[in-house]
Amino acid sequence: MSSIHTLDHRTHSPEAYPKEAQVKRGMPVCPLTGSTDVIVLESFSTSLLIECYQRDLGLDVSSEFKNVQRLQLCHCPSSDLMFFYPCITGSPEFYRQLYTFPWYFPETKFEYDYATTWITPHQQILDIGCGAAQFVQKFPQMSYTGLDPNYRPEKNNVRTSHQILTETIEEHAVTNPYGYDTVCAFQVLEHVANPREFLTAALACLRPGGLLILGVPSAESYVTQITNFVLNAPPHHVTWWTDQSLHSLAKHFQLSVLDLTHAPVESWETRLYWMQRLVKIILPRKESHFTTLLSRRLSNIAAYLGAGFISPIASLPTSAQGSTVVMVARKDERTPC
């Protein structure tokens, strides 16, 4: 399939793309709705990602891709979800390596503070993919259960009296139906291969009338504008979410959206924000998200170095948005699952 260049992700009708880029039935399907009406935006070699992970993070991810030689970035017009095909998710060992980076779990995040404004002290809270359980530190009096299959107390350096289980949400839902008033998943949904099964299990744990709070990287933020940004690619991120795709999620699961909020640029991401701004100045035209073009690699290096000087001294524009969007939705009180 041919790549689509100079993409505008706010224009997603099939007519916006060449006919040869539209996928025939039997090819990739939308992991949220199951629709086969999808479009290939880009196709690129996994060797590019392997090289970028090694160069940028010092991680050897070659074993993660096994015999997969190429990936496609696809778009489902009906749900507005973008996803990678085939879906290659990270192994436990991949995430254990990422967990060793101090920056991987920031101590403070907008979505933690924001979520607590929707929670009362006596609620039962489930935090899916809790990592080092930073969220519970914001609201220590909450009745809290965290889930993380990759959790290791000795490696995560977690000191908490709250319950943290090494279970998946699918496993937890079997023994804890309707057990929680609020279910949270911060920066988790974009990592899972089957968001439909993940959300079905999450909602099975949620009482009727309870809240689902999701924080994901926004595909409409600066994150998708940085070329070859490996943390926004497999085996790390396998889906890209827009505001419209989150509304599609809510509609698919019969949820009532109470709020959709974009985080400001947070302290831990200011350099990346300015990097993206500088890249657009150095090379205004964006050919694709993943490319071997030397000009794009050199512009990334120059922009990253420049951002290192700018970010400590420059004031952020009032319109600046961070990488995260948070959705708060209510489960229908009339339907238990």
> Which residues neighbour 15 within 8 Å (Cβ) at sequence distance 6 or greater?
none
* pLDDT per residue as tens digits for the range 42-63: 999 999 999 999 999 999 999 9
What is the tally of helices (H) and strands (E) in the chain? Answer: 11, 11
Task: Give me the chain's average pLDDT, please.
Answer: 87
Average pLDDT estimate for 104-115? 87
Above pLDDT 70, what percent of the chain?
A: 88
pLDDT score, position 20: 37
* pLDDT per residue as tens digits for the range 219-255: 999 999 899 999 999 999 999 999 999 999 999 999 9
* pLDDT per residue as tens digits for the range 262-320: 999 999 899 999 999 999 898 877 778 999 988 888 999 999 999 999 999 999 998 89
Query: Is residue 90 over pLDDT 60?
Result: yes
What band does 134 get if pLDDT is binned at 50, 70 and 90?
confident
Q: Which residues pair with 83 in a beta bridge?
A: 74, 239
Sequence ranges of the domains in the chain: 14-91, 97-263+324-331
Residues 287, 233, 231, 239, CA torsion sign = positive
pLDDT score, position 73: 97
pLDDT score, position 244: 98
Could you name the CATH architecture of 97-263+324-331? 3-Layer(aba) Sandwich (3.40)
> Which residues neighbour 170 within 8 Å (Cβ) at sequence distance 6 or greater?
197, 198, 201
Sequence letter at residue 205: C
Output the DSSP codes for 287-300: --SS---HHHHHHH
